[in-house]
Amino acid sequence: MAPFNGTGPEMQALRKELLGLGVYTFVHWNHLLVVPPLIITEEQLAEGFTAIDKALEIPDRAARG
């Protein structure tokens, strides 16, 4: 999906989608790093995981061709 020591358009699209959903992440190569705050509710965690699950459809579609 991403070239060695670089990132691909799918990962940039993933990051953009997550930002649009209100989830701030760091994309590095083919890694998606998410560091939630130490004080977070279960509802907020569920909302974040739902957004990540939805956004991961972008690279999944790209991988399937």
Asked if 5 and 29 count as a contact pair (C-beta separation under 8 A), the reply is yes
User: What integer pLDDT is reported at residue 20 of this predicted model?
Assistant: 94
Q: Is the dihedral of CA 15, 17, 20, 23 positive or negative?
A: negative
pLDDT exceeds cutoff 70 at 1: no
- Tell how far CA 6 is from the center of its chain: 16
How do residues 16-63 score in pLDDT, each as one tens digit? 999 999 999 888 888 888 888 889 999 999 999 999 999 999 888 877
User: What integer pLDDT is reported at residue 2 of this predicted model?
Assistant: 59
Domain coordinates in residue numbering, the chain? 9-64
Report the 10 Å Cβ neighbour count for 4.
6
3 pLDDT tier (thresholds 50, 70, 90): low
